[in-house]
Structure 1
Amino acid sequence: MAKGSAAMAAAVVVLVALLCAPAAGELERLEHPAKNDGSLSVLVVGDWGRKGTYNQSRVAEQMGKVGEQLDIDFVISTGDNFYENGLTGTDDQAFEQSFTDIYTAKSLQKPWYLVLGNHDYRGDVLAQLSPVLQKIDSRFICKRSFIVNAEIVDFFFVDTTPFQLKYWTHPKDDHYDWRGVAPREKYLANLLKDLDEAIKKSTATWKIAVGHHTMRSVSDHGDTEELLKLLLPVLQANGVNFYINGHDHCLEHISSKDRLTSI
C-alpha cells in the first residue's frame, strides 16, 4: 500500500511538472507586471562577474543610486556573469563574491533576468542555470532563452553563444560546456523557430531582444556574422524594435537603415 501511494505521489509530481512547463516548441514565458501607471524602469548590465574588482563594486554602487532614482522594476544582465570561466558548481563561492555580496543596494533587491555569455559557457553551465542558486539568492533568474512579459514590452532573451562557430571549432585551451546544446545545428534551428513563433504571438507595444554577443559593433569584437545571418532576419521580419547586448566592454548605440537598433 505504501509503495502504491508513493508511486501515485510521484506520478502527480511528474504531471504537475509537465503542466507547469512550457509546451514543446515554446520559449518559457515569465510575467513581470509594469507599475500601476503602466510605466517600466529597468537597469541593464553585462560582463560584470569580477568578485568586486575591475571597478565592479564602484559600478554596483552607482547602479544602486540610479536604481533608487528610477524606482527600477528589475535588472537585465546580458551575460558573462562570472569571469573567467563561469561557475565550477552550485557551491562555487564566486556566486556570492560576484553577485550577492556586490549588489547590496536596496534598489537592486529586485529580480535579475540573466542570459549566458561565452565566459559562462566555459564553466558549469548547468550549475548557473540551476534553481539551487535561486535558493541562495532569489533575485538570480538565469536561463538560456526565454521571454519576460512586462505588459507594454516583451523582452526576448536569446542564447547567443552557440551561434558563434569559432567556439566549437577553435576553442584553443578553453573548454565550453555544450551539454543541452549539442548538436549545434539542431539547437539553433529549434531556437530560431521557437523565437520566430514567440515574437509573432507577441501583442506588446515594444519588442526588445537581449543577447550577449554583438550584432553590429564598431568596437573590439566587431560584427557577429552568425547573428547577422541567422538571428537578425528573424528579428527584422517580426518588427523587433532593438537589440541589447554585452560582450564589447563599452557603450554603443547603433542605428541602421534596416530599422533595427543595437545597444
Structure 2
Amino acid sequence: MRSYNKTMAVLVVASLIVIVCRVSADLERFEQTTKGDGTLRFLVVGDWGRRGEFNQSQVASQMGRIGEEMDIDFVVSTGDNFYDNGLKGVEDPNFVESFTNVYTHKSLQKQWFSVLGNHDYRGDAVAQLSPLLRKIDTRWLCLRSFVVDAEVAELFFVDTSPFVEEYFTSPGDHVYDWRDVYPPKTYTSHLLKDLELELKNSKATWKIVVGHHAIRSVSHHGDTQELVDQLLPILEANDVDLYLNGHDHCLQRISDTKSPIQFLTSGAGSKAWRGDVNTTNGQGLEFFYDGQGFMSVELTQSDITVVFYDVFGAILHRWTMFKSVLHSIV
C-alpha cells in the first residue's frame, strides 16, 4: 500500500510539472546583428493584414521608401497580423496575400518580429507560430513572447491577449484559440515573472517592450486595465524606455506620469478609425492621429528618435529623447 501511495505521489508531482511546463512562458532569445556603427533602425506597423486593402498596400509602399532611406535593420509588427480571424492554418493563402505579396520593397526584406493580436487568436493562433510559415517566407518570426537582443537595445515581446479577461468571460460570437494558454491566470503569472527577470538582467542601453494591447490610449479601446494593473508596474520598476503597441487603429504618443516611459501606438497599417478619440483620457497625450500610417525608431547609445508617418509617407510627429552615456555604461 505504501508503495502504491508513493507511486501515486510521484505521478501527481510529474503531472504538476507537466502542467507548469505547459503554461510557462519562458522567453526565447534571438540575437539581431546590426551594422556595427552603434545605431539601430527599425519600422513599426500593426493591425495590417487585409490583402492590401484599406490602404495597406499604400502604407507598405511608404514603409519601403522610408526603410530604404533609413537602411533599417528589421520590422516590428504589433499584432492583428491577419484579418478578420487570423489564419485558418499554415496553408492559408491569407499569409502570402496579406504579407508576402504586400511588403515587397527591397528594404522590407529583413527580419519581421511579430506578436499575436486578439484577431490572430480568433483563428489558428498556433499556425502563426509555426516554423512552416518561415519556409514560405523567411522574414516571418512570430512567437507568443520572446526577447530580441539588438546590441544597443533589447526588445521584449509580450503576449498581451491572455491578460484581457473579457476575451474569456464575454467573447461574444468570437471563438479564440487558447491552446497552450489555459489556465490563463497561471500563464500570465509565469509570463510576468519571466519578463521581470529578463528586464532586471538586461544590460542594454535601451529597453523596449512590445505588446498588442495598449497600456495607455485615447482611441477606441482606451487603456487596457489589466495591463495597467499587472504589466505597467514591472515596466516602471525596470527602467523601460518605450512600450510599443497596436490594437487601436491609430498613431499616438503618450508620456507616462510616473516614469520616462513613452507609450507609442502604431496600429494604423490598414483600416483606421476616423474620429474615434476620447481626449477625456488624455493625460500625458503628446500626439494623436486617426489615419493610416506607421512609425520608425532610430537608436544610438545616447539618443532615440521616433517618427510617425502618414499613408503618404509625410512626417506627422518627431520626438527625440537623450540618455546619459555614463548612465548606460553603469
With structure 2 as the length reference, what TM-score do the two structures score?
Answer: 0.72
Give the aligned residue type for 2:253: H
Aligned mates of 2:93, 2:256 — CA distance in 1: 42
Aligned mates of 1:214, 1:246 — CA distance in 2: 7
Aligned mates of 2:250, 2:25 — CA distance in 1: 35
Q: Is the 8 A contact 2:26 2:191 kept in 1?
A: no
The equivalent residue for 2:189 is: 189
The equivalent residue for 1:41 is: 41
Q: Is the 8 A contact 1:26 1:198 kept in 2?
A: no
Asked whether 1:81 is paired with 2:72, we answer no
Deviation at 1:233, TM superposition (A): 0.8
Work out the percentage of aligned pairs sharing the same amino acid: 60
Asked whether 1:126 is paired with 2:126, we answer yes
SS at match of 1:254: strand
Deviation at 1:100, TM superposition (A): 0.3
SS at match of 1:220: coil
Aligned mates of 1:91, 1:204 — CA distance in 2: 38
Deviation at 1:34, TM superposition (A): 2.0
Between Structure 1 and Structure 2, the one with more strand by share is 2
The equivalent residue for 2:54 is: 54
The equivalent residue for 2:248 is: 248
The equivalent residue for 1:99 is: 99
SS at match of 1:235: helix
Aligned mates of 1:53, 1:83 — CA distance in 2: 11
With structure 1 as the length reference, what TM-score do the two structures score?
Answer: 0.90
The equivalent residue for 1:146 is: 146
Asked whether 1:165 is paired with 2:152, we answer no
User: CA RMSD for the aligned pairs?
Assistant: 0.9
The equivalent residue for 1:261 is: 262
SS at match of 2:126: helix
Deviation at 1:65, TM superposition (A): 0.3
Q: Is the 8 A contact 1:80 1:118 kept in 2?
A: yes
The structure having more radius of gyration, on CA atoms, is 2
Q: Is the 8 A contact 2:115 2:212 kept in 1?
A: yes
Aligned mates of 1:257, 1:85 — CA distance in 2: 36
Instruction: Choose between structure 1 and 2 for higher RCO, CA contacts under 8 A separated by at least 6 residues.
Output: 2
Give the aligned residue type for 2:147: I
Deviations 1:5-35 (A, max 9, x none): xxxxxxxxxxxxxxxxxxx774101000221
The equivalent residue for 2:112 is: 112
Aligned mates of 1:164, 1:262 — CA distance in 2: 18
Q: Is the 8 A contact 1:34 1:152 kept in 2?
A: no
Aligned mates of 2:50, 2:236 — CA distance in 1: 35
Give the aligned residue type for 2:143: K
Aligned mates of 1:129, 1:25 — CA distance in 2: 14
Deviation at 1:257, TM superposition (A): 2.1
Runs (5+) with no aligned partner, structure 1: 1-23
Give the aligned residue type for 1:187: Y
Deviations 1:34-61 (A, max 9, x none): 2121111100000000001000000000
The equivalent residue for 2:177 is: 177
Aligned mates of 2:205, 2:256 — CA distance in 1: 21
